[in-house]
Amino acid sequence: MAQEDLFKKLVSHCKEYGFVFPSSEIYDGLAAVYDYGQNGVELKNNIKKYWWDSMVLLHENIVGLDSSIFMHPTIWKASGHIDAFNDPLIDNKDSKKRYRADVLVEDQIAKYDDKINKEVAKAAKKFGDAFDEKKFRATNPRILEHISKRDALHECYKKAMNDNDLNELRQIIIDEGIVCPISGTKNWTDVRQFNLMFSTEMGSTSEGSMKVYLRPETAQGIFVNFLNVQKTGRMKIPFGIAQIGKAFRNEIVARQFIFRMREFEQMEMQFFVRPGTEMEWFKKWKENRMRWHQNLGFGADCYRFHDHEKLAHYANAATDIEYLMPFGFKEVEGIHSRTDFDLSQHEKFSGKSIKYFDAELNKSYTPYDIETSIGVDRMFLSVICAAYHEEILENGETRVVMKFPPALAPVKLAVLPLVKKDGLPEKACEIIDDLKFHFHCQYEEKDSIGKRYRRQDAIGTPYCVTVDHDTLKDNTVTLRDRDTMKQERVAIDKLNDIIAERVSITSLLKKL
Ligand code: GAP
């Protein structure tokens, strides 16, 4: 199946089975804003719990925080967001569509890569086992031409971005002959900077009002609470503060479903360390975070690091963890060594000392910070992409099954009476009444057992219990495994132990 078709299927599956709905749908929606349905919210909560517990439960020296979305506006001056949290935008005068100029150029670079990969694939097919890919890439004239064009473009682009040269960025778009996908023309406006923060007014007009921002990242809430947490928690360096919360960005081009949203959620952890030790911690957190992703069992090939060439002004090292989405490897998480930039800036702008006294060294300093920052929604999307499977069954039917890691599945167990009579529904409800305190169960009695299995497969329920007439005699049920579809007969009083062991976040955390 073409990856584009797969992605369309995923989006409609998410809607059909109550994972994700477009926001304000009955009013025709609101661009790049989404709501999570009954299954989506459970999956999202499980992802958040996996992250939170892996940080706060498993590390004695990491504590949580829940700071507010509105913060004093000077915070955004200090952090650099008011002056520099911009994207370069360009409009097509014919279609009136707006684009990110940097994304247009990056897409063009990707086109050269596509051409190169296509040439390689064609040659591999032609030459079979005798194909030497390394040699082909190094000598084939067409490949060399594409590489040379791509590298030249990449150099110009890098320079334009580093120099913040918007005229040059426009010139690259013109020189490359990049056209608007809607109008097909090259009738472009100048490139302008566009600040991504949403603002609103706080306070009534009679008192005077203040312009405040909806936070574009949760990180600043951690930095401005550094001393509160450190002092009240008697935290010793190295230590971390973790937070999960909403963030808002007025993205120019919001694309690819929940990949780029205007309202989204972040899970961020700032780890404060002694100056000079930050590279060692950066490496440790890189490894730790990759392990967390790979622990879900989707396969190591789905992930890669992308080290940043161009570092933000506050960072001395940065990498992304990318996941292979149907539209290519894309950033899911960023890991940054942010130096002492943020704490120093808040010290400067607030006029309050934000220093840490290190008793072992007998001196005060501004700690350095390693940040791990992951988008809940992007993580959700990667889990949905990895879990979605279409399988042809022996009878020729297709089953769609979401192979979520059991600990993340929205519903852990469905309890299904074989028929809607003879006391089987009552027995099924009895089982749920006992198990519902331990994990999320669902009762279903409508339709044939086969159809009910299919519905549970589609939402990724790892186990189905069927209550039949034998159950009433011997207190045993059939336990069906989602992935293998194999069934085993188990005693009702063993269900809790069997399932809890397989579906708990604890068992996932223990594998870390
Ligand atoms: N505090 C650092 C920070 O915010 P970022 O790379 O801008 O860094 C971190 O964002 C993560 O937040 C990204 O890796 C991504 O998962 C998520 N994210 C950023 N913008 C997003 C958007 N518009 N929609 C969904 N997720 C987004």
- DSSP letters along 404-465, please? --GGG-S-SEEEEESSSSTTHHHHHHHHHHHHTTTS-EEE--SS-HHHHHHHHHHHT-SEEE
3-state secondary structure of 310: coil
Distances, alpha carbon 442 to alpha carbons 42, 461, 465, in Å:
13, 9, 10
The boundaries of every CATH 3.30.930.10 domain in the chain are: 1-70+196-392
- Ligand 1 pocket test: which of 218, 331, 379 has the largest number of ligand atoms within 8 Å of its C-beta? 331
- Ligand 1 pocket test: which of 87, 257, 266 has the largest number of ligand atoms within 8 Å of its C-beta? 266
Distance 374 CA to ligand 1 centre (A): 7
Judge if the beta carbon of residue 249 lies within 6 A of ligand 1. yes
Q: How confident is the model at residue 207 (pLDDT cuts 50, 70, 90)?
A: low
- Structure confidence by residue, pLDDT tens digits, 62-84: 999 999 999 999 999 999 999 99
Q: Note the pLDDT of residue 205.
A: 64
pLDDT, the chain, mean: 95
Distance 245 CA to ligand 1 centre (A): 12
Q: Look at residue 208 and tell me whether its pLDDT is greater than 80.
A: no
Please identify, by atom number, the ligand 1 atom nearest to the C-alpha of residue 336: 2
Averaged pLDDT, 481-507: 95
Q: Look at residue 96 and tell me whether its pLDDT is greater than 90.
A: yes
Q: Which residue's CA is the closest to the ligand 1 atom numbered 7?
A: 217
3-state secondary structure of 140: coil
User: In CATH, what is the architecture of 1-70+196-392?
Assistant: 2-Layer Sandwich (3.30)
More confidently predicted of 463 and 106: 463
Q: Note the pLDDT of residue 156.
A: 94
Q: Does domain 402-509 have CATH number 3.40.50.800?
A: yes
Judge if the beta carbon of residue 387 lies within 6 A of ligand 1. no
Distance 87 CA to ligand 1 centre (A): 14
- For residue 147, give the nearest of 116, 117, 177, 111 by alpha carbon: 116
Judge if the beta carbon of residue 378 lies within 6 A of ligand 1. yes
Peptide bond into 367 cis (omega under 30): no
Judge if the beta carbon of residue 266 lies within 6 A of ligand 1. yes
- Ligand 1 pocket test: which of 214, 246, 248, 264 has the largest number of ligand atoms within 8 Å of its C-beta? 264
- For residue 368, give the nearest of 285, 272, 242, 286 by alpha carbon: 272
Q: How confident is the model at residue 273 (pLDDT cuts 50, 70, 90)?
A: very high
Q: Note the pLDDT of residue 163.
A: 87
Q: Is 510 exposed, middle or buried (0-12, 13-18, 19+ CB in 10 A)?
A: exposed
Q: Look at residue 206 and tell me whether its pLDDT is greater than 80.
A: no
What one-letter code names the amino acid at 263? E
Q: Note the pLDDT of residue 334.
A: 98
CATH number of 86-193: 3.30.40.230
Judge if the beta carbon of residue 332 lies within 6 A of ligand 1. yes
**∠ CA 334-335-339, rounded to 5°:** 130
Averaged pLDDT, 19-46: 96
3-state secondary structure of 58: coil
Averaged pLDDT, 375-398: 95
Q: How confident is the model at residue 459 (pLDDT cuts 50, 70, 90)?
A: very high
| Spatial distance between the Cα atoms of 28 and 50, rounded to a whole number of angstroms | 34
Q: How confident is the model at residue 104 (pLDDT cuts 50, 70, 90)?
A: very high
Q: Note the pLDDT of residue 254.
A: 72
Percentage of the chain beyond pLDDT 90 is 87
Q: Note the pLDDT of residue 109.
A: 92
| Spatial distance between the Cα atoms of 436 and 438, rounded to a whole number of angstroms | 5
- Ligand 1 pocket test: which of 373, 380, 381 has the largest number of ligand atoms within 8 Å of its C-beta? 373
Q: How confident is the model at residue 322 (pLDDT cuts 50, 70, 90)?
A: very high
| Spatial distance between the Cα atoms of 486 and 363, rounded to a whole number of angstroms | 63
- Structure confidence by residue, pLDDT tens digits, 153-197: 999 998 998 888 999 999 999 999 999 999 999 999 999 999 999
Q: Note the pLDDT of residue 450.
A: 93
| Spatial distance between the Cα atoms of 188 and 65, rounded to a whole number of angstroms | 45
Averaged pLDDT, 280-291: 98
Judge if the beta carbon of residue 217 lies within 6 A of ligand 1. yes
- For residue 376, give the nearest of 319, 333, 321 by alpha carbon: 333
What is the residue-wise DSSP string for 89-122? EEEBTTT--EEEHHHHHHHHHHHHHHHHHHHHHH
Q: How confident is the model at residue 468 (pLDDT cuts 50, 70, 90)?
A: very high
Averaged pLDDT, 443-472: 97
The boundaries of every CATH 3.40.50.800 domain in the chain are: 402-509
Q: Note the pLDDT of residue 488.
A: 96
